[in-house]
């Protein structure tokens, strides 16, 4: 049975004069918080501005830094988020906010000059309920630069609009998002049972009510990826697990590109089995099973190597070597998590990549 398309609805018109509330969930972000807050408070709009920080129980000095910022800046308010879950923190921050336009920001992100003014203009022009732009990843170290390149390229995260599309229009979801509070209240805010992918699920409910989610390629946010291989792998396992959970819940509403990483994991697992049978002498070199796994593995390896060694692979040998490692790590970790989430559900899975608070010094 096919879903009936909802009647088109227009969100309330947005204006700068009515005020803007920025909401930021924070956990163990001492390295990034100050710059993130600075870029938020530097946004110029013709109306009042506030930043609500939903502060999780951090262990790296983030809490002291956040309170120092709030003590020095009257536009910053802190609400406690003892559960540390992102959707819980977002709901707490939104509940504590005052203005009709809500701008979601992240401590790992930095807003460019004019971002909020442009987003409000797009909200007003399109009467969408949520507007987002491009996630532009950047890095400081060879490893982080390799992750950033993977984020920004179709080979890394599958070519979603917010990873570099130039075509403005309706979208499935929005990176971070500049939202109309009235619509958030109507849909009931973020689903606190979803620890990753909460933005995708929120935008699904927004679209089900007939409102538009809009992508504006002239909006861009700088994003700083994880700083180590272990953190990256843990992040992607958790993200993939929750995508598997979302497929369990919402089935065919998930795009086909989400199934590519788990297909890679299955192919690699099959290749290991076939390789073992080959070593044991059960299968010959030219057997059909060997060809079935060898061709896709060889093709994938060639694509990854071409990306790492080509013009987009980085500016030095270390960058290129990390690119060779980063792309398969992202795909295999995400795909393995997806399979687990699809068959067993996400349960209490959390992204542990920010929980321990151990950070290396900035280079």
What is the CATH number for 88?
3.90.550.10
pLDDT value, residue 311: 72
- Are 85 and 149 in a shared domain? yes
190 occurs within a structural domain: yes
Instruction: List all residues 6 or more positions away from 341 whose beta carbon is below 8 Å from its beta carbon.
Output: 240, 241, 242, 243, 244, 245, 247, 248, 349
Mean pLDDT of the chain: 90
6 occurs within a structural domain: no
Residue where a domain terminates, one of 196, 227, 258: 227
- Are 267 and 326 in a shared domain? yes
Residue where a domain terminates, one of 227, 260, 275: 227
Distance between CA atoms of residues 319 and 147, nearest Å: 10
- The percentage of residues in the chain with a pLDDT greater than 90, rounded to a whole number, is 71
Question: Which residue did the predictor score with more confidence, 160 or 347?
Answer: 347
236 occurs within a structural domain: no
Query: Which residue range(s) make up the domain with 278?
Result: 248-349
Token pair listed for 157? 């995260």
- For 46-49, the CB contacts below 8 A with 24+ separation are 46/16, 46/17, 47/15, 47/16, 47/17, 47/18, 47/19, 47/20, 47/99, 48/19, 48/20, 48/98, 48/99, 49/19, 49/20, 49/21, 49/22, 49/75
Residue-wise pLDDT tens digits, 47-56: 999 999 999 9
Answer whether 263's CB lies under 8 Å from 358's CB.
Answer: no
Q: Is-above-0.75 flag for pTM?
A: yes
- Are 202 and 280 in a shared domain? no
361 occurs within a structural domain: no
pLDDT value, residue 1: 45
5 occurs within a structural domain: no
148 occurs within a structural domain: yes
Instruction: List all residues 6 or more positions away from 25 whose beta carbon is below 8 Å from its beta carbon.
Output: 54, 56, 81, 86, 89, 90, 93, 106, 107
12 occurs within a structural domain: no
Task: Indicate the angle between helix axes 142-152 and 317-344, nearest 10 degrees.
Answer: 60
Is residue 146 classed exposed, middle or buried when 0-12, 13-18 and 19+ CB atoms within 10 A define those classes? buried
Distance between CA atoms of residues 295 and 72, nearest Å: 60
- Are 219 and 302 in a shared domain? no
165 occurs within a structural domain: yes
Answer whether 52's CB lies under 8 Å from 24's CB.
Answer: yes
Distance between CA atoms of residues 345 and 351, nearest Å: 15
- Asked if the model's pLDDT at residue 258 lies above 90, the reply is no
Give SS3 for 179: strand
Q: H-helix or E-strand containing 24?
A: strand 20-26
Q: How confident is the model at residue 82 (pLDDT cuts 50, 70, 90)?
A: very high
- Are 83 and 195 in a shared domain? yes
Residue where a domain terminates, one of 158, 193, 227: 227
- Are 125 and 41 in a shared domain? yes
Residue-wise pLDDT tens digits, 212-252: 999 999 999 999 999 899 999 999 999 999 999 999 999 86
- Are 44 and 150 in a shared domain? yes
- Are 193 and 264 in a shared domain? no
Strand partners, 49: 20
Report the range of poorest mean pLDDT among 154-158, 239-243, 255-259, 265-269: 154-158
Number of domains into which the chain is organized: 2
127, 211, 135: which is closest to 174 by C-alpha?
135
- Are 158 and 261 in a shared domain? no
Token pair listed for 161? 């609009």
- Are 90 and 187 in a shared domain? yes
Distance between CA atoms of residues 65 and 336, nearest Å: 36
- Are 191 and 275 in a shared domain? no
Q: H-helix or E-strand containing 273?
A: helix 260-279
- Are 54 and 202 in a shared domain? yes
């Amino acid at each position: 049975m096919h879903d009936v398309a909802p009647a088109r609805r227009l969100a309330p018109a947005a204006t700068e004069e009515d005020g803007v509330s920025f909401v930021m969930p924070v956990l163990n972000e001492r390295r990034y918080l100050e710059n993130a807050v600075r870029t938020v408070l530097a946004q110029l709009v013709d109306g009042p501005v506030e930043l609500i920080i939903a502060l999780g129980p951090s262990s790296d000095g983030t809490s002291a830094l956040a309170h120092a910022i709030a003590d020095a800046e009257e536009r910053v308010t802190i609400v406690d988020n003892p559960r540390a879950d992102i959707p819980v923190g977002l709901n707490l921050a939104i509940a504590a906010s005052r203005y009709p336009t809500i701008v979601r920001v992240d401590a790992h992100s930095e807003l460019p000059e004019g971002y909020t003014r442009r987003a409000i203009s797009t909200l007003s022009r399109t009467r969408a309920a949520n507007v987002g732009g491009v996630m532009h990843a950047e890095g400081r170290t060879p490893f982080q630069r390799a992750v950033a390149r993977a984020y920004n390229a179709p080979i890394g995260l599958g070519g979603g609009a917010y990873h570099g599309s130039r075509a403005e229009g309706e979208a499935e979801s929005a990176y971070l998002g500049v939202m109309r509070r009235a619509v958030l209240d109507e849909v009931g805010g973020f689903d606190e049972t979803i620890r990753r992918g909460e933005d995708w699920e929120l935008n699904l409910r927004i679209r089900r009510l007939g409102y538009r989610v809009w992508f504006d390629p002239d909006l861009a946010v700088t994003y700083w990826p994880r700083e180590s291989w272990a953190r990256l792998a843990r992040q992607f396992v958790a993200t993939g697990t929750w995508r598997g959970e979302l497929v369990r819940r919402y089935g065919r509403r998930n795009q086909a590109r989400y199934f590519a990483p788990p297909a890679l994991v299955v192919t690699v697992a099959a290749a290991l089995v076939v390789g073992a049978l080959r070593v044991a002498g059960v299968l010959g070199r030219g057997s059909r099973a060997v060809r079935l796994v060898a061709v896709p593995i060889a093709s994938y390896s060639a694509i990854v190597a071409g990306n790492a060694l080509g013009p987009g692979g980085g500016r030095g040998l270390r960058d290129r070597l990390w690119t060779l490692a980063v792309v398969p790590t992202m795909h295999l970790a995400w795909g393995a998590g997806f399979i687990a989430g699809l068959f067993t559900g996400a349960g209490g899975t959390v992204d542990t990549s920010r929980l321990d608070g151990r950070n290396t010094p900035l280079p």
